[in-house]
Amino acid sequence: MTWSNPSEGWPSLVEVLETNGPDLSLPEDATSPLDIFPVDLQHRLWLQTCFDALVGLGQAEDLTLANAEQQDRVEWFTHLLRDHKETVEYFHLTLETLLTRIVMPPQDEEIFIRMMMDQLGLTSPQEPLAPIL
């Protein structure tokens, strides 16, 4: 099986394990097939999946948040964070700490901060994201 996007691998694996997991033999301490993966790894992979919404920013002239056609990426990213709120809680993410986990051009980072603060109604980049999601 091949994936066109590496970040699709984890969600696909989770789906397969959830679908076929009841038929698998598990270690004694595992209650689900996902338990074979350390919790920290699971959350890192879910966060990476969320970052998929921002892939490519700065890689081409038109792939910038300054381009209005690319700005829906921030809404998509916010939606993905909501879908994975447990991961946001696990890492105690704020907008400020989120930005330490991703690299984007300075111009895009400024726009990203402004858009995220507006979308989520944040009062500061240090405000915890989980309660707002």
Domain presence at residue 6: no
Domain presence at residue 115: yes
User: What pLDDT shows up at residue 7?
Assistant: 61
For the chain, what is the domain count?
1
Domain presence at residue 116: yes
Domain presence at residue 22: no
Single-letter amino acid, residue 45: L
H helix intervals, the chain? 9-20, 39-51, 72-83, 85-90, 95-98, 106-120
Is 84 within 8 Å of 125 (Cβ atoms)? no
Structural domain of residue 67, as residue ranges? 33-133
Query: What is the residue-averaged pLDDT of the chain?
Result: 91
Within its chain, how far is the Cα of 44 from the centroid? 9
This prediction has a pTM of 0.87
Share of the chain above pLDDT 70, in %: 95
Cα angle for residues 109, 76, 83 (degrees, 5° grid): 115
Domain presence at residue 7: no
Domain presence at residue 2: no
* Per-residue pLDDT tens over the stretch 1-25: 444 455 678 999 899 888 888 788 8
Domain presence at residue 4: no
